[in-house]
Amino acid sequence: MAIYSQILANGLMLGALYACLAVGFSLVWGVLNVINMLHGSFIILGGYLTYFAWHAFGIHPIVMLPVVGALLFALGFALQKLVINRVVSAPVLTTLTLTFGLDMILYNVMTYWFTATPRRVQLDLGAVSLGPVTLPVDRLFGTALALALTLLLYAVMRGSNIGRAIVAVRMDRSAAELMGIRTERIYAITFGIGALMAGVAGVVFASIFPITTNVTGTYLGKAFVVCVVGGLGSVPGALVGGLVLGLVESLAGHWFGPQQAITAGFVLMLVILLTRPTGLVGVRGYE
Amino acid sequence: MKSGPLAYALLAAGILVLATTPLYADNYVVRTAAIVAMYGALATSWNFIGGFTGYPSFSTAAFFGLGCYVGAICQRAGVPMMLAWLIATLMVGAFAALLGAIILRLRGHYFAIGSIAVVEVCRLVVSSWSSLTGGGDGLNLPLLHWAPEELMRFFLFVMLGILMLSLIATFLVDRARLGFGLRCIHQNEDAAAMVGIDTTRYKVAAYTLSAVFCAAAGAAYASWTGYIDPTESFQILMTVKVPVMAMLGGAGTLAGPFLGAAAFVLLEELFWANFLDWNRAILGVVIVLLVFFLPGGLLSLARKAKSKAGSGGAA
Amino acid sequence: MTEPILRLEGVSKTFGGLKALTDVSFALQPGEVVGLIGPNGAGKTTLVNVVTGNLRPSWGRILFEGKDVAAQKPHEAARRGLARTFQIVQPFPQMTVLENVTAGALFGGGAASVADARDMARRSLDFVGLAPLADRPAAQLALAARKRLELAKSLAMNPKVLMLDEVNAGLNSSEIDGALALIRRIAERGVTVLIIEHLMKVVLSLSKRLLVLHHGRMIADGPAREIVADERVIEAYLGQKYAAKLKELHHG
C-alpha cells in the first residue's frame, strides 16, 4: 500500500506541473484555433532565463517569476501581433507550419546561446516525510506554485475584463467584434498570456528538473496530451488533463517501466481523441 | 490538379537531372540526388491525403519508420532485400488502412494532433520492444559489399523508381473517380457525402496511398544506410518537413511536391554546408517566408507569371 | 393505389431531451408533388435530414421503395435516388459549376466514367439554364444561380425523390417564378418532389397536396385547398391572435 501512496503523491505532483505547463497552450488553441508549436521552446526559454539569473546573479527563481512572465508576455504579444495574426484564420496546416518555422528559429537561437547542456537550479531544500510518503521539498514547492499559477489564471479569466473579452472572442468572434471588442488585439493578448504561462512553467521546471533544448519536444507533447485528455481551452480542462496524465504516467511507470510511462500518455490521448473528442471536461466556454 | 505544360517540363527535367548525376558528378552529388528523389517520393505520397483531400496529416515519419523496421527485420530474417521492401510496403499499407479507418473520423486540428501522436507512439513502441527491434540500440542490416559508387548509383535508381511510382499513382488517381471524390471532400466534406461519395472509404484510400510509398522509401533507406534506430527512423522534424515541401512546390498538384522537395533539400544542403550553426534557424525563416509570400507554392508563381504574360499579350 | 415510393412510419427524433420530431407518418406516391409547410422551428429540415441519412431517427421506420433505410448514411441515400437541396447552399466553392454538377452525376448518378458524368452534367446544366456559366467557379455565382446549381447537381444524380429545402428563400419574385417553372419541369420528368417551403404562394402553385408540421408533429395531411382553410393550420402558421382576428373578420 505504501508504494501506492507514494505513486499517487508523485502522480498528483507531476499532474499539477503538467496542468501549469499545458494551460497556456490550451488557451491559445481554444481561442485562436492555432496549435502553437513554440510552446515547448517558450517553457525552456523561461527556464533558461531563470537558470542564468540564478547562476550569474544569484537571483532566486521566485523573484524571476514576474520578470520571466513579463518578458515572455511581451515576446508572445509581439509575435502574434506582427506575425501570426496575418494568417490566423488560415487552415490548420498553414498556422501549424508557421509556428513550427518560428520554433525552429527560437530553438536554434537558444541552442546557439545556451548550448544543449542540461542545467538546473539547485535549491537543496531537502525532503519531508508524511507517513510512508517522501516528498522532495523543491518539488512540493514547485507543485504548489504551479497550482497557484494555474488557479490565478482561472481567476483572471473569470474576473477581469480582459478575461471576459477573451471568453467572448472564443465563443463567437463576429459577435464579439460587433460588441466592439478588437479581436486582433485580444488574439495578441491571448497569445501573450499563453507564452507567459509557458514562461512561468519554465521557472518552476528549472527549479525541479534539468533544463535543455532537447526536451522542448517532450514538453510540447505533454501539452498536446493534457489538452486533448482534459478538454480544449479551459483551465479546469487543463487541470483534469494534467492530473489524469500525471497519475497515468506514474502508474504506468511503476507497472511497465519509465519508458512506457510516456507511451501510456500518448495511448491515453489517442483513446480519448477517438472516444471523447471534447476531452474529459467538455466545457464549451473558457471559464 | 491543374498541372500545366511548364510543370510537366520541370518535372521531366528534374528527374532527368537526378538520373544522370552518376555520369558527371561525384558521390556527394549522387547521394544528394538520391535524397531529393526520396523526399520527392515522400512529399508526393503526402499529397494524396494532404493535397488532394485537405487533411493535415503528419504521419509521414510513422510510415517511413515502420517501413525501415519491417524491411530491416525481414532482411535480418533472411528475406531477400527487394522482397523485404515489398513486404514492408504491403504491411505498412495495411496498417495505414486500419489506422485510417480509426483516426480519419477526426477533423482539422484533432486529426493533425492524432496523426502526430501516431508517430510518437510508433517510435515509443519500437524503442521499447527490444526483443524484436533492438530497442534504443537499433538494428544492423546485412551489408551490401559493393563499391561506394555502385551502392550510391543503385539507391539513386531505387529512390527514383519509388518516386516515379508515386507520380504515376498521382497521375492515375487525379484522372479517376477517386481523385475527383477526394477533391470534393477537400472542398466540402458534407456536400461530398450528399452527392453520394463514400467519404470514409475515399479518405482511407488516400491515407493508405500516402503510406505505401513512404514505407517503400523507408525500407530502401534502411538497406542503404545499413543501420537504423528509433530516433533516426521516426523524426518529428521529417513529419513536418514533408508537408512543408509539398506546400513549397504546390500542394494538390502533380509536380509540386517533387519540385518543393528538390528545392527544400538543396536549400538545406546549402545551409548545412555554409551555416552549420544556424541552419535550423535559416530553414525556419524560409518556412515563415513561404507561409507569407508563397502560400500557393512555387508552381503558383509560374501560373501567375503565365497569366500576366497572357493578359499582356492580349492587350 | 400504387406502392408509395417513400413512407415514414412513426418517425421520432430527439436531441437530448428535446423532441424535434414526434411520431411523424406519411407516404409519397411516385410522381407526386407534395408541399411540406410549417412555421420556423417546426422540424422541417430535421425531417429532411432524417430521410437522407444525415440524422438517424430515434424511433420509427423509413421505407424507400419498400425497404427500410432508417440506418443509411448520406452517401447511400444519394446513390439510392434520395436527393436533396440545402437551405443554405452547399457547393464545392473552388470547383467550376460544371465540376460541381459532374460530382453529382459521377457519384450519385451512377455515371460509368468521369467523361460520361461530364456529359450528364452538361445536360443537367442545360436543363436548369446554367450552361453559359459552366466554367465559372461556384463561389462566384449569385444566390439565384447558386440555387440553380444545387438543383442541377441534384438532377444529375438521377433522383427518384427530390427534397427541396427552401429553394426559394432569399430570391426575388421574378427569380422565384423562374425557379417554379423549373421545379414544374422537373416534376414532369416523373421525379417525386417534396417542397419544403415558407411561402404559401409557392407551395399552392405547385402542389395539390400539403403536409403541415408544427412543433415536430404532423398536424395535417391532405388536399391543399382544404388544408389552408384548416383552423389549426392557420393558428399554427399565423399565431393564435391573428387566427382569432381572421375569424372575427369572417364572422363580423
**Model ipTM value:** 0.83
C21 or B274: which leads in pLDDT? C21
Interchain proximity A273–B110, CB inside 8 Å:
yes
Those residues whose C-beta lies under 8 Å from the C-beta of residue B195, and which sit 6 or more positions away, are B184, C75, C78, C103, C104, C107, C108, C153, C157
Which residue, C3, C54, C53, C45, is CA-closest to C27? Answer: C3
In this structure, the number of other CB atoms found within 10 A of the CB of residue A175 comes to: 11
- pLDDT, position C165: 86
Mean pLDDT taken over chain B: 89
Smallest CA–CA distance, residue C124 to chain B, in Å, is: 14
Q: What is the pLDDT of residue B199?
A: 93
Highest mean predicted confidence (pLDDT) among A23-32, A58-67, B161-170, C108-117: B161-170
User: Cα separation of B189 and B111, whole Å?
Assistant: 14
- Interface probe for A, chosen from B47, B188, B275, B291 (most Cβ of A below 10 Å), is B291
Which residue on chain A is closest to B244 by alpha carbon? A97
C-alpha A271/C-alpha C174 separation (Å) is 55
Answer whether residue B124 shows pLDDT above 80: yes
Q: Judge whether C204 and C224 are in contact, CB under 8 Å.
A: yes
Mean pLDDT score, A145-166: 89
B121–A263 CB contact, under 8 Å: yes
Kindly determine whether residue C79 and residue B196, on different chains, have CB atoms separated by under 8 Å. yes
CB contact under 8 A, B197 and C107: yes
CA A47/CA A42 separation, integer angstroms: 9
Of A35, A100, A221, the CB nearest to B287: A100
Higher pLDDT, A225 or A128: A225
Q: Which of residues 227-266 of B touch A (CB under 8 A)?
A: 236, 240, 243-244, 247
Query: Any bridge partners for residue C163, and if so which?
Result: C84, C194
Q: What is the distance in angstroms between the Cα of A109 and the nearest Cα belonging to chain B?
A: 7
Name the nearest CA neighbour of B288 among B247, B253, B258, B252: B247
pLDDT at A39 over 80: yes
pLDDT at C199: 72
Q: What is the pLDDT of residue A286?
A: 37
Q: Give the CA radius of gyration of chain B.
A: 19
CA distance A11 to A7: 6
How distant is the Cα of C126 from the closest Cα of chain B, in angstroms? 19
Sheet with C6-15, strands from edge to edge, namely: C18-28, C6-15, C59-64, C67-68
CA distance A63 to A61: 5
C184-218 pLDDT, tens per residue?
A: 888 888 899 999 887 777 788 888 888 888 888 88
Beta-strand pair C59-64/C161-165: unpaired
pLDDT band at C247 (very low <50, low <70, confident <90, very high): low
In this predicted structure, the answer to whether residue B314 has a pLDDT above a threshold of 60 is no
pLDDT band (50, 70, 90) for residue B58: very high
Distances (CA, A) of C105 to B121, B184, C96, C159: 42, 13, 14, 10
For chains A and B, CB pairs below 8 A equal 118
Asked if C35 has any chain B CB less than 8 Å from its own CB, the reply is no
Mean local confidence (pLDDT), B219-228: 94
Q: β-pairing, C161-165 with C18-28?
A: unpaired
Contacts 24+ apart (CB under 8 A), B301-306: B302/B4, B302/B6, B302/B7, B303/B4, B306/B4, B306/B6
Do the chains contact at B128 and A263, CB–CB below 8 Å? yes
> Are chains C and B in touch, 3+ Cβ pairs below 8 Å?
yes
pLDDT, residue B306, reads: 63
Is C63 buried (19+), middle (13-18) or exposed (0-12) by CB count in 10 A? middle
Q: Which residue has the cell 484564420?
A: A89
B300 contact C CB<8A: no
Distance from C-alpha of B308 to C-alpha of C94, rounded to nearest angstrom: 21
Distances (CA, A) of C135 to B15, C101, C122, C127, C131: 34, 11, 11, 16, 9
In chain C, which residue's Cα lies nearest the Cα of B2?
C95
What is the least distance, in Å, from the CA of C230 to any CA of chain B?
Answer: 36
Tell me which range, A115-119, B202-206, C237-241, is most confidently predicted by mean pLDDT.
B202-206
Higher pLDDT, A63 or C202: A63
Using CA coordinates, name the residue in chain C closest to B199. C75
Answer whether B touches A (≥3 Cβ pairs < 8 Å).
Answer: yes
The minimum CA-CA distance between C94 and chain B, rounded to whole Å, is: 7
Helix (H, G, I), strand (E, B) or coil at B2: coil
Strands C67-68 and B139-140: unpaired
Asked if B27 and B42 touch (Cβ cutoff 8 Å), the reply is no
Q: Which three cell numbers stand for residue C184?
A: 414544374
pTM for this model (two decimals): 0.86
Question: In this complex, do A93 and B112 lie within 8 Å of one another by their Cβ atoms?
Answer: yes
* CB neighbour class for B78 (10 Å; exposed up to 12, middle 13-18, buried from 19): exposed
Which residue is it, cell 467519404? B199
B137 vs A: CB within 8 A: no
Q: Give me the pLDDT at residue B313, please.
A: 37
Longest distance between any two alpha carbons in chain A, whole Å: 58
Whether C31 contacts C159, CB under 8 Å: no
Under 8 Å between Cβ of C12 and C19: yes
Q: Give Cβ neighbours of residue C123 (< 8 Å, ≥ 6 apart).
A: none
How far is CA B241 from its chain centroid?
Answer: 9
Question: pLDDT, tens digit, for every residue of C90-133?
Answer: 788 889 999 999 999 999 888 888 899 999 999 999 888 888 98
The chain-wide mean pLDDT, for chain A, equals 87
Q: Which residues in A lie closer than 8 A to residue B130 (C-beta atoms)?
A: none
**Separation CA C114–CA B177 (nearest Å):** 6
| Chain C touched by B2 (CB under 8 Å) | no
First-last CA distance in chain C: 44
Residues of A in contact with B188 (CB under 8 A): none
Residues A35, B112: C-beta atoms closer than 8 Å:
yes
Burial of C13 (0-12, 13-18, 19+ CB in 10 A): buried
DSSP letter at B236 equals: H
3-state SS assignment for residue A127: strand
C-alpha distance from A271 to closest chain B C-alpha (Å): 10
Residues in C 72-111 with any Cβ partner in B closer than 8 A: 73-75, 78-79, 84, 86, 90-95, 102-104, 106-109
A–C touching, 3+ CB–CB pairs within 8 Å = no
Residues 133-192 of B with CB under 8 A from C: 175-177, 180-181, 183-184, 187-188, 190-192
Q: What pLDDT, in 10s, does the model give residues B156-194?
A: 999 999 999 999 999 999 999 999 999 999 999 988 998
